[in-house]
A and B are shown apart, each in its own frame.
Chain A
């Protein structure tokens, strides 16, 4: 059981380039999330999805886009990369039952540097 899989693990981008961070889960979870973690800080929510075809903005959505065409996949798109987007990105998923009590399952992250 793979859980939440993120690819790539590391990436270096030049300013202005674009890329897609991939996230897939095999737990049939309806809820999925994208976070970024800056050094010494907690996790900031970028976007989230409550099911296929439904996405919404989190706390720090500027400069990012998402899509959710299937239950399993939740890619995060960076357009026109900027140095401020240098961070570690985590994808997570959770079961939708019983609301806030459900723990989130995280991937191992993508470490992204914008130079």
Chain B
């Protein structure tokens, strides 16, 4: 039973356009949702997060939207840049769980110049 799902293995967008990466979850007890970015041969790095009590969090070109009723979140990147090409992981965690996160399988974003 995969609690965090990223149903699109890959996404390709043109430079300057919007990239939208999606994530669905099944456990309504999650308190936080985090997005990580991963380049080849490197470890994931934290990008942005959102608390379950909010519906939007913005940081520069990156915005995460949370729809609790649909158990769905999305990461918007505007405008997309070639350097954004990477694998993006959605993760979910609970306050009471020793900081453990459950990760999705990732979406590979390619931004074409």
Q: Is B97's CB under 8 angstroms from A100's CB?
A: yes
In the bound complex, residues from chain B placing their C-beta under 8 Å from that of A100 are 30-32, 93-97, 99, 101
**Complex-state Cα separation, A104 to B102, whole angstroms:** 12
- Closest chain A residue to B31, Cβ basis: A100
- Name the prevailing secondary structure of the B interface residues: loop
Known contacts A33-B100, A94-B99; 16 further A-B pairs (Cβ under 8 A): A40-B105, A41-B106, A43-B89, A56-B98, A90-B44, A98-B95, A99-B93, A99-B96, A99-B99, A100-B93, A100-B95, A101-B49, A101-B51, A101-B95, A104-B99, A106-B45
The answer to whether A70 has its CB under 8 Å from any CB of chain B is: no
Q: Is B46's CB under 8 angstroms from A107's CB?
A: no
**Complex-state Cα separation, A26 to B106, whole angstroms:** 28
Top-7 shortest CB links A-B: A106-B43, A100-B93, A99-B95, A103-B46, A42-B103, A42-B105, A43-B103
Bin the interface of chain B by size. 20 to 34
How near does chain B come to A88, taking the closest CB pair, in angstroms? Answer: 9
How near does chain A come to B107, taking the closest CB pair, in angstroms? Answer: 11
Q: Is A40's CB under 8 angstroms from B96's CB?
A: no
Per-residue contact bits, chain B 37-77, to A (CB 8 Å; 1 contact, 0 not): 00001111110010100000000000000000000000000
Task: Report which of B30, B31, B94, B99 forms a contact with A31, defined as CB distance below 8 A.
Answer: B99
The answer to whether A112 has its CB under 8 Å from any CB of chain B is: no
A–B pairs, 19, beta carbons within 8 Å = A4-B43, A31-B99, A40-B105, A41-B105, A42-B103, A45-B100, A58-B100, A90-B44, A99-B93, A99-B94, A100-B31, A100-B95, A101-B49, A101-B95, A104-B99, A104-B101, A106-B45, A108-B41, A109-B41
Q: Is B101's CB under 8 angstroms from A105's CB?
A: no
